[in-house]
A and B are shown apart, each in its own frame.
Chain A
Amino acid sequence: MNWKGHTLMNKYIFTLLISALGLRVFAQANISPAGPQDKKTVIMGAKLHIGNGQVIENGYLIFDKGKITGVGDATTVRFDFSGSTVINANGKQVYPGFIAPVTNLGLAEYESVKATLDFAEIGTFNPHIRSLVAYNTDSKVPATLRSNGVLMAQITPQGGTISGSSSVVQLDAWNWEDAALRKDDAQHLNWPVTPKPRPGFGSRAAVSEELLKERTQKILFELDQLFAEAKAYAETEKPAVINTRLAAMKHLFDGQQKLFISADAQKDITAAINFAKKYGITPVLVGGEEAYLMIPFLKENNISVVVKQPHALPNSVDDDVNLPYKNAGILANAGINVVVSIDGYWQQRNLPFMAGTVAAWGLDKEKALQTITLNTAKVLGIDKSTGSLENGKDATFFISAGDALDMKGNRVEQAFIQGRSINLDNLHKQLDKKFSAKYASEKK
């Protein structure tokens, strides 16, 4: 899109442009990443959800060269708009771009088609595996996320005990290098858990509880050994033998790379956190189904929790049927830094509604918003540049006609990533247009 010539947009021109976009039928391949911001832009009159808990009812937001340069209350300030693009957003709402943590977005296209799956490498300990290089910017999925306000994601490998390192990307890019916001932000460890011996089928049925336990013990031992050796390796200036696995773990110990550990049961959470502490690491807990039962321990250790999707069934029959909805709120209200996530990749477009659910079941709305913006940016190590609408941060946000945490209000009209006004078209909109037009023409 060529945005030149629209420098003095008022609400009406803006609306016109949007509908002009709507009439043109693109193919997915033609949804190009936007060029750099070429003009200072001012958004006027919107309700600004800052992302840190604050709200400005009638706000202004100025951004230039991809960065936010001004945020404040529009009722008390007068501007000189000359040389700026003005977006009149009266009655609309502005949100920081939502961030999807722990997702295999861009590493999978169709769940059942093996050739399209690139998120789970074989092997138990894969710290040297990097998700970023497999992140497919041409996937049809990210565009469907952007149109609901999800603008960034932590692309995360799965499988094994150590799955590898994730990277944080923004969702409007030509290739993975362009996309990267933070490379190798975290290592991902699946805490070894003895599977519940239950009436089941397949290989598990034939294995005794004792044997399962023994296997877990063995993996735990190997894990410990790996960390011990990796730490020693990190301290060695010139290792005698180069080991890519150990080398990949180096920055876990100097804090430059985070350690995300998936664990759900109380005992596993305790063990996982104590394990990390032993190596001087403050981990991020992922999952944490039973985390709500051990809040003091988590606070004591300054643990952030990435809560699994609130839209889930209770873990056990006796649990409060609405516990998964309440879980994140219970933790956040207790003062824990909570990040809300959702499983999968195509599902990420529902991330806003996960936060909405958390808000419905006990957490303040703006705090719920934080669980998919600023809190997430913090655990991903990108809070200096993203996560909230604050001066100096990336101009990565969107304008919605209504409450973006609610499907009834989420209407993303315009979105910016680092100041670039991105194309909100996607495969689904295109197919909608194609077939709606067919039936409309048949009616005539």
Chain B
Amino acid sequence: MKKILLQLMLVFFATSVFAQQTYPVNGSYDIRQGTYALINATIVVNANQTISNGTLLIKGQTIQSAGTGISVPKGYVVIDLKGKFIYPSFVDAFTSYGITEPVRNPGSGQRQSIFVSTKKGAYGWNEAIRPETQVNALFNADPKKADELRKAGFGSVNVISRDGIARGTSAAVTLSDERENNTMLNPQSAANYSFNKGSSQNDYPTSLMGSIALLRQTYYDAQWYGKQKQEYNISLEEFNKQQTIPQIFEADGWQNILRADKIGKEFGKQYVIKSNGDEYQRINEVKSTGASLIIPVNFVKAYDVEDTVEARSISLAQMKGWEMAPANPSILEKAGIKFALTTFGSENLKDFWTNLRTAIDYGLTEKQALLSMTEIPATMIGIADKVGSLEKGKLANFIITSDSLFKKNSNIEENWVQGKRFITFKKEAQGKDTVATALAKKAEPRKAQTLGPVIYPFTSFGTASPLKQESVLLKNATVWTNEKEGILQNADVLLENGKIKAIGKNLSAGNAKVIDATGKHITAGIIDEHSHIAIAGGVNEGAQSSSAEVRITDVVNSEDVNIYRQLAGGVTTSHLLHGSANPVGGQSQLIKLRWGKSPEELKFGGNDGFIKFALGENVKQSNFGTGARFPVTRMGVEQSFVDEFTRAKEYKAALLKKDNNVRRDLELDAIVEILDNKRFITCHSYVQSEINMLIKVADSLGFKINTFTHILEGYKVADKMKAHGINGSTFSDWWAYKMEVAEAIPYNGKIMHNVGITTAFNSDDAEMARRLNQEAGKATLYGEVPEEDALKFVTLNPAKMLHIDNRVGSLKAGKDADVVIWSDNPLSIYAKAEKTFVDGIAYWDIDRDAQIRKDQKSERNRLIQKMQDNKKKGAKTQRPQADAPRIYNCETLEDYSLELNELERTHTHE
């Protein structure tokens, strides 16, 4: 039997079921009829239709018919498949099969100061936008890889050049060993995108928000391009041509799914999104995008937790992630999300099958599994008319299995691609696992899996069920109203429906829960005017002197534990700012610290938009960079602003003209908003010369400065700031960390305050933000600012400068119930925040925190035990490696794409 099989294989290699029309043949033509009748098989036509005892007729590449009672015409080779099963072969919508992976810049993280494309020719300005890439021209079949994929049951795949943000078109091909001319199913299967700039040499973009801005701008550029005649641009031309085919976005992670989908919606696109398998963490948000997904089954291996010291470095989130990952496909199915499965990310195809079986053990139905590997991916890449099911007229792409596909001991015996027969040889027992044996190995009966709860956010201190808004009466406290009533002794505060209902003495509780706050102090929640927490993928888009087009709103990260840590310090509202690497930074985002909510729900809502500007050492890159990016002096900084606003004014005027075809410019849009008093500036600033300069530039170009942030020499120009109505948000006592703070003094806040400037203390630091109340206390130390005024430095005054003092910043009936209960005078080192309410929800509660930590410990212990049990059963493990979450400040420079590349590298090396 073996010999025969071998011979068959040889024959197949030498012949063809179809002619290659244009290629000459060396010798005699050997074109076969390719007519086969596969009889007595169980034919799974598609996930919904199975034919018992059926016949499949094939002619050449095509299925002629599938059904029962079909008589076999003459001249057909009959293959009796009694007891066997025929399935449509699988389709993988996301591979880089047959294409050279781009050489990613391994990078030192150093900026190269390469501002525009290094690519020769009439292409776009940024190398990360490469829609001119066409896989159909680059594809080069890889026989070895094709063989592996066929043995795993795949018949066709989508080939993607995974390089750049706009990656050009992919091509769908079969896995036949024929010449590329014959295996191409769809030469333009999809247009592809990602947030990763890939091999691009350009500095821009360095951040996730920059990637998003660049892609958005590209859509607008392409729209403009289609209506103009001055410029020829291959990249934009190709971009426009690709808009009618399917659009696939490699996003990786549920937060990035939301981000990608938002871009799609802005431009009327529904992306198919390739993610990474963590969708269970926010399944509702993922579902609400309406996007179809492509997901891997590369479940993380258990951590080796034998060494209890090393095990400490594994976070609860990592452990829970390990436990939950195999349930992800099932959770997606139950949520009714359309998804395809991909082998991408699996170390090898054996792992793919092992994990797929595990996913089924965790509740993925076999029907869904089959759908997700056949019809769904085929539809995604526009080849559903050719493959994915066994209907008349479709390609003869199918597999023959020894038993029902997902049953134990079922083997993939044959894989037919375009009518061409490939046989899987069974290796004699050599102890080495093949895909087939991996398939067969899962002999244990399926049992229900017990999983810990999904927590929100999916990290330490997350909760399984959302925290509730309550009516609460806080009794008998010292109440710092920040209003004309001042500090009230023995007063009550009533919170209802997320608002402050009343403040006064002896309030009646009604239905409200009463909390005795005798001896405690109650204040409005702390507002941090300058924060960089809860941001994903970098805070600086500093490759150009203006990055007004980038928006923190695109990259809010709800999973940052610093949100919880800062609630513990009484913070309720944070102004998330772009960094200070360039004169015109990005648009900021105001959030409330609603721990556990989605990124969208964190947003303050209804507030004015702000933008970060910056002056001084950072923007002139005194302490980093190549020194090649303009500006490098404070003189150049002035001209950066002059140029930006001059251009914005011209842009605005041009837009007002009738029938214009002005290119929509996201950068200048933001500047025009400033000119129109619709967006407000908070400007990072240090020394008096530059502060004075910007005031003059603003005067001459007709815009206003809302706030100087940091403003360490504000005390030297306080009169000028006051005259212009500019607010000051500074540090309490930082100095000497660089040259421009040589004369920063802790009396700065006091002097600005005394001159009549609305003055705040900010953090710019995830640590300091946890004790801004104490920083306010330092205003009493340095300068004897009255206590009541000092507290306003971190509550009412930042609220005023952020234009939200109508809602937060003081305790007054009708305002948001953002309230902190302190154990002591809030300006004292001894004060602890005992409860922090946001919208009347106690997101921080010092007693509940103790309980959470206890519960967390037992959850950790449960998971450690489970991992050890798993290891005993022989499951693979990996060494514990801590996730290293990023903590940003103003000066953090990093490269988001490098980070992604690195993650991918370490992941595959696990």
User: Which A residues contact B (CB, under 8 angstroms)?
Assistant: 109-113, 141, 196-203, 205-206, 265-267, 311-314, 316-318, 320-322, 345-346, 349-350, 353, 356-357, 359-361, 405-408, 410-411, 427-429, 431-432, 435-436, 439, 442
Residues of chain B within 8 A (CB-CB) of A113 are 738-739
Across the interface, B738 reaches (CB within 8 A) one of A110, A202, A410, namely A110
Interchain CA distance A345-B734 in the complex, whole Å: 11
- The answer to whether B856 has its CB under 8 Å from any CB of chain A is yes
Q: Are B622 and A112 in contact (CB under 8 A)?
A: yes
Given contacts A113-B738, A317-B316, A432-B750, 14 further A-B contacts (CB under 8 A): A201-B898, A201-B902, A206-B106, A313-B565, A313-B887, A317-B460, A318-B460, A318-B856, A321-B770, A346-B735, A406-B777, A432-B715, A432-B747, A432-B783
The reply to whether A432 and B736 contact each other, CB–CB distance below 8 Å, is no
Question: A109: nearest residue on chain B (CB-CB)?
Answer: B736
Least distance between B772 CB and chain A CB atoms (Å): 12
In the complex, what residues of B have CB within 8 A of residue A406's CB? Answer: 777, 828-830
* Set A112, A197, A408, A427: member contacting B780, Cβ < 8 A: A408
Please, how many angstroms separate the alpha-carbon atoms of A202 and B459 in the complex?
Answer: 28
CA distance A376 to B819 in the complex (A): 40
13 A-B pairs whose Cβ atoms sit less than 8 Å apart in the complex: A111-B737, A113-B739, A201-B109, A311-B767, A313-B767, A318-B460, A321-B770, A346-B735, A360-B831, A407-B774, A408-B825, A435-B718, A436-B754
Smallest CB separation, A104 vs chain B (Å): 11
Check B746 for interface membership: any CB of A closer than 8 A: yes
With a cutoff of 8 Å between Cβ atoms, the chain A residues found around residue B770 in the complex are 321
B107: chain A residues at CB < 8 Å are 201
Complex Cα distance A197/B884, Å? 10
Partner of A112, one of B312, B738, B829: B738
Choose one: B562, B741, B881; the contact of A198 (CB below 8 Å): B881
* Residue in chain B with minimal CB distance to A314: B565
Which 8 A-B pairs have CB atoms at the shortest separation, nearest pair first? A201-B109, A356-B829, A112-B738, A432-B747, A346-B736, A428-B745, A407-B777, A198-B884
The distance in angstroms between the C-alpha atoms of A230 and B603, with both chains bound, is 61
In the complex, A68 Cα to B599 Cα: how many Å? Answer: 61
- Flag if A112 contacts B747 (CB, 8 Å): no
B733 at the A interface (CB under 8 A)? yes
Instruction: Please report the C-alpha to C-alpha distance between residue A109 and residue B737 in the assembled complex, in whole angstroms.
Output: 8
Interface residues of B, count at CB 8 A = 78
Provide the residues of chain A in CB contact with B787, threshold 8 Å.
Answer: 408
Report the Cα distance A276→B388, complex, angstroms: 69
In the complex, A199→B896 CA distance in Å?
11
Minimum CB distance partner of A148 in chain B: B781
**A268 to B: closest C-beta gap in Å:** 10
**Residue interface bits B715-746, CB-to-A below 8 A is 1, else 0:** 11011000000000000010111110111011
In the docked arrangement, what's the CA distance between A429 and B778, Å?
A: 14
Contact (Cβ within 8 A) B315 A408: no
Chain A CB within 8 A of B116 CB: no
Closest to A354 in B: B829
Which residue of B751, B777, B881 is within 8 Å of A197 (Cβ)? Answer: B881
Whole-angstrom distance between the Cβ of A415 and the nearest chain B Cβ = 16
Q: Is B590 located at the chain interface by the 8 A CB criterion? A: no
Pair A408/B898 contact, Cβ less than 8 Å = no
B108:A201 contact, CB within 8 angstroms: yes
Q: Are A313 and B766 neighbours in the complex by a CB distance under 8 Å?
A: yes
Would A407 and B460 count as touching, CB distance under 8 A?
no
CB distance from B249 to the nearest CB of A (A): 22
What does the 1/0 interface line of B876-910 toward A look like (CB < 8 Å)?
A: 00000111110100000011001100110010000
Q: Are B827 and A266 in contact (CB under 8 A)?
A: no
Please tell me if B197 contacts chain A, counting CB pairs below 8 Å. no
Inter-subunit contact A205/B106 (CB<8 Å): yes
Please judge, given known A-B contacts A141-B736, A431-B715, whether A321 and B568 are in contact too, CB under 8 Å.
yes
CB-defined contacts of B496 to chain A, threshold 8 Å? none
- Interface hub of A196, A312, A321 (most chain B Cβ within 10 A): A321
Set of chain B residues within 8 Å of A361, measured between Cβ atoms: 832
**Minimum distance in angstroms from B825 CB to a CB of chain A:** 7
B738–A111 touching, CB < 8 Å: yes
**Using a CB-CB cutoff of 8 Å, which residues 852-866 of chain B contact chain A?**
853, 856, 860
Chain B positions within 8 Å of A320 at CB level: 849, 853
In the complex the two chains form, what is the Cα distance from A345 to B461 in whole Å? 35
Given contacts A201-B898, A408-B828, A431-B715, contact A316 B313 (CB under 8 A): yes
Contact A112 B719, beta carbon cutoff 8 Å:
no
Q: Is B755 an interface residue (CB 8 A)?
A: yes
Chain A residues within an 8 Å CB radius of B309 = 265-267
- Write the B765-777 contact mask toward A (1 if CB under 8 angstroms, else 0): 0111011001001
B317 interface residue per 8 A CB criterion = yes
Contact A405/B829 with A110-B742, A435-B715 known, Cβ cut-off 8 Å: yes
CB B121 to nearest CB in A, in angstroms, measures 31
B-side contacts of A317, CB under 8 Å: 315-317, 459-460, 561, 883, 885
Collect the chain B residues with CB atoms within 8 Å of residue A432's CB. 715, 745, 747, 750-751, 782-783
Which residue of chain A has the shortest Cβ distance to B460 in the bound complex? Answer: A318
In the assembled complex, the CB of B422 is this many whole angstroms from the nearest CB of chain A, namely 39
Contact A196–B738 (Cβ < 8 Å): no
Give the contacting residue for A318; candidates B106, B315, B565; CB below 8 A.
B315
B771 x A311 contact (CB < 8 A): yes
- Asked whether, in the complex, the Cβ of A196 is within 8 Å of the Cβ of B898, the reply is no
CA distance A203 to B882 in the complex (A): 19
- Supposing A199-B884, A317-B315 touch, asked if A110 and B715 sit within 8 A by C-beta, the answer is no
Bound Cα distance A317, B766 (Å):
13
Smallest CB gap from A199: residue in B:
B902
Asked if A200 and B902 sit within 8 Å, CB to CB, the answer is yes
Contact B754 A439 (CB under 8 A): yes
Q: How long is the Cα–Cα vector from A111 to B564 in the complex, in angstroms?
A: 31
Question: In the assembled complex, which residues on chain A have CB atoms less than 8 Å from the CB atom of B898?
Answer: 201
Q: How far is the CA of A436 from the CA of B737 in the complex (A)?
A: 24
B179 CB to nearest A CB, Å: 40
With A206-B106, A360-B832, A407-B780 in contact, do A349 and B733 touch (Cβ < 8 Å)? yes
Beyond A321-B849, A360-B830, whether A110 also contacts B751 by CB under 8 A is no
Residues of A within 8 A of B771 (CB): 311
Provide the residues of chain B in CB contact with A442, threshold 8 Å.
719
CB contacts under 8 Å to A, within B591-629, are 617, 622-623
Among A360, A407, A436, the residue within 8 A (CB) of B778 is A407
Assess whether B109 is in contact with A408, with CB atoms less than 8 Å apart.
Answer: no
Assess the B829–A346 pair: CB atoms within 8 A: no
Q: Which of A199, A202, A320, A439 has the most CB of B within 10 A?
A: A199
Q: CA–CA, A161 to B738, complex, Å?
A: 26
Partner of B568, one of A202, A266, A322, A357: A322
- Which of B735, B832, B894 has the most chain A CB atoms inside 10 A of its CB? B735
State in angstroms the CA–CA spacing of A322 and B846 once bound together.
10
Select from chain A the residue with minimum beta-carbon distance to B738. Answer: A112
Bound-state Cα–Cα, A356 to B766, Å: 20
B579-596 interface bits toward A, Cβ cutoff 8 Å, 1 = contact, 0 = none? 000000000000000000
Cβ of B777 to closest chain A Cβ, rounded Å: 4
Contact of A345 among B715, B733, B736, B894 (CB under 8 A): B736
By a CB distance below 8 angstroms, the chain A residues around B767 are 311-313
**Chain B: CB-nearest residue to A349:** B733
Tell me which of A318, A360, A439 contacts B860 (CB under 8 A): A318
Contact A110 B716 (CB under 8 A): no
CB neighbours (8 Å) of A111 from chain B are 736-738
- Known A198-B882, A356-B829, A435-B751; contact A407-B781, beta-carbon cutoff 8 A: yes
* Cβ contact within 8 Å between B755 and A439: yes
Q: Among B108, B783, B832, point to the contact of A203 (Cβ < 8 A).
A: B108
Q: Which of A201, A360, A407, A442 has the most CB of B within 10 A?
A: A407
Chain B residue with Cβ nearest A409: B828
- Does B882 contact A196, Cβ atoms closer than 8 Å? yes
Among residues of B, the one whose C-beta sits closest to the C-beta of A357 is B829
The residues of A that contact B882 with a CB separation of less than 8 Å are: 196, 198, 316
- Indicate the member of A202, A205, A317 with the most B CB atoms within 10 Å: A317
Q: Which B residues are CB-close (under 8 A) to A349? A: 733
